[in-house]
Amino acid sequence: MKIALAQYNYHVGNFEGNTSKIIHGIEEAKKRNADLVVFSELAVCGYPSADLLEFEEYIHKSYESLEKIAAHCTGIAAVVGAPDKNQGPKGKPLYNAAFFLSNKKITRVFHKGLLPNYDIFDEYRYFEPANQFQVLEYKNKRIALTICEDLWNLNDNPLYLQNPMDKLYKQGVDLMINIAASPFSWNHIYERKSMLSQNAATYNLPMFYVNQVGAQTDVIFDGGSMVINPQGEIVKELASFEEDLSIVELSRTLSSEGSRPIPSQDTDQKNERIYKALILGVKDYFQKLGFTKAILGLSGGIDSAVTMVIAAEALGAKNVLGVLMPGQFSSDHSIQDAQELAENLGSPYHTIQITKTAHTFEQHLHPWFKDTDFNVAEENIQARTRAVYLMALSNKFGHVLLNTSNKSEAAVGYGTLYGDMCGGMSVLGDLYKTEVFELARYINRKKRIIPQNSITKPPSAELRPDQKDADSLPEYNILDPILFEYIENRKGPEALYSMGFEQTMVDRVLKLVNYSEHKRFQTPPVLRVSLKSFGAGRKMPIVAKYL
């Protein structure tokens, strides 16, 4: 039996576009003599569809699309992910389902049993979990067809009370198929492969795994669909970060020839993966929204430089407009560094002096500010003045403003709300400052695109004389590990002390993070590349007494 793995980039709610992609995949698989073609989880409507799933018409359109798709299933069968109405008298109105299409009809439907409801996942919001599982018979093969999380309950402390594969295995199975929408995190790829391999080996069955590719606002799906043999080795791996369709003969999984073991966890490819993921994230955000041009403030610093390189790669250098906005405290080298970057890329740039505008604000505020000391109010006026310029250009000419904040800044609230925290999308908001430096060095690995000075000079907001980030914040090599343990690993203060972090430093950092929740509440969507990014995956109260 020849099985086609169809790894596509869907657009949430775009039934017409998704349907024609799926039909194209079926026709392509037919041409190449496949017996079965498999598409990813909720492919018909796109994943995640969020509350669009609560609209009757949305579900109706999904069924209509399935009918259109089924009409092409002659001489081939297809597995397609889509929501299915719960016909029973009890429970949530929908199931997360895999439809088996053959002979121009929906022949069978399979429901997801394990619904992730943590981090960015909220499937229990929409779906009823299945608790009965049946094998699919096709061409004399017995197939255990599961959906994404259904396979993720193998460990010693399972999150779910049931294990669908155990129930299916007892019915007699020849191969496993899993359709997924498993998002990218740079440090999660090993875990995913390892879990698939563990399943294949545990049940001694070949595994055909089809994942979604493409970005849906903040969440990036990397693809990387694969076939694994019963020894847990990789027989075939599809492309990452792009669409792919590949056909594997089931018999190929019977021998280890040409297969390779799961690579051990390596971080060598971290920067390459993150770079590709962010480019895809920017590209899909613009393409799927119908925009072509980006704008961003260029400070001469590393964050705006890395953001601009990624945007230029995603949209074309000519479509990325840098705006230099020197103020009273900007250094000459900042302006030079920013110009050099734009010229290296071949991107257009404008220069606007903000000093006079900031002074106009200060003059009008003088009746109340009087002789108060220069403080964060005056600093923020500069950052907000820049935002007004950027947004004015954006509104006039149709550019989307890219935010250039990094995760360390966002974490400790070192940024101006309605100032440098503005933007339609945060490109680097899930990378700690130390990771932004790594990425900059990766970008410059062959050729100097980012000026060396942007990488080597001490980071500064340049909002007061001779300001350095290190005046207000711990050094990033001290700050970032504390942030990582607090944010990614949910370690409280006592846990951090006992890990050896210095108590006053921990208290200072955690206070900054906790007191910035109100700021982060209003930030743009952050392209997610870690296992815990700011946004929907991290829900912290604004009004609370923190640990």
Q: Which of 158, 258, 261, 346 binds a copy of itself (CB under 8 A)?
A: 158
Site membership for a copy of itself, residue 446 (CB under 8 A): no
Q: Is 112 a catalytic residue?
A: yes
Q: Which of 9, 19, 46, 98 binds a copy of itself (CB under 8 A)?
A: 46
Site membership for a copy of itself, residue 293 (CB under 8 A): no
Helices (H) and strands (E) in the chain, counts: 17, 19
Give the three-class secondary structure for 38: strand
Contact indicator for 527, 218 with CB cutoff of 8 Å: yes
Q: Which two tokens stand for residue 53?
A: 């799933």
Which regions of 89-196 does DSSP assign to beta strands (E)?
A: 94-102, 105-111, 136-138, 141-147, 175-180
Contact indicator for 154, 163 with CB cutoff of 8 Å: yes
Binding piece for a copy of itself, criterion CB under 8 A, among 13-21, 30-38, 144-152, 434-442: 13-21
Q: Which of residues 296-335 bind a copy of itself (CB under 8 A)?
A: none
* Distance, CA of 81 to CA of 98 (rounded, Å): 4
- Residue 346, judged by CB atoms within 10 A of its CB (0-12, 13-18, 19+), counts as exposed
The catalytic residue among 73, 148, 276, 340 is 148
Q: Which of 209, 285, 414, 432 binds a copy of itself (CB under 8 A)?
A: 285
The catalytic residue among 30, 61, 112, 491 is 112
Site membership for a copy of itself, residue 91 (CB under 8 A): yes
Q: Which of 7, 199, 212, 216 binds a copy of itself (CB under 8 A)?
A: 216
Contact indicator for 424, 524 with CB cutoff of 8 Å: yes
Q: Which of 63, 349, 361, 442 binds a copy of itself (CB under 8 A)?
A: 361
Site membership for a copy of itself, residue 194 (CB under 8 A): no
Contact indicator for 253, 226 with CB cutoff of 8 Å: no
* Distance, CA of 275 to CA of 132 (rounded, Å): 42
- HEC sequence for 484-539: HHHHCCCCCHHHHHHCCCCHHHHHHHHHHHHCCHHHHCCCCCECECCCCCCECCEC
Site membership for a copy of itself, residue 104 (CB under 8 A): no
Q: Give the shortest CB-259-to-a copy of itself separation in angstroms.
A: 33
Number of residues that bind a copy of itself (CB under 8 A): 97
Q: Which of residues 404-423 bind a copy of itself (CB under 8 A)?
A: 417-418, 422
Q: Which of 217, 334, 406, 516 binds a copy of itself (CB under 8 A)?
A: 217
Q: Which of 139, 260, 318, 364 binds a copy of itself (CB under 8 A)?
A: 364
Q: For 235-240, which contacts have Cβ atoms below 8 Å and span 24 or more sequence positions?
A: 235/206, 235/259, 236/5, 238/5, 238/7, 239/7, 239/213, 240/213, 240/273, 240/276
Q: Give the shortest CB-397-to-a copy of itself separation in angstroms.
A: 8
Q: Is 170 a catalytic residue?
A: no
Q: Which of residues 331-350 bind a copy of itself (CB under 8 A)?
A: 350
Site membership for a copy of itself, residue 396 (CB under 8 A): yes
- φ and ψ at residue 274, rounded to 5 degrees: -65, -40
Choice between 232 and 326, CB closer to a copy of itself:
326
Site membership for a copy of itself, residue 541 (CB under 8 A): yes
Paired sense of beta strands 175-180 and 136-138, if any:
unpaired
Q: Which of residues 480-519 bind a copy of itself (CB under 8 A)?
A: 490-495, 518
Which sequence positions are flagged as catalytic?
A: 41, 112, 148
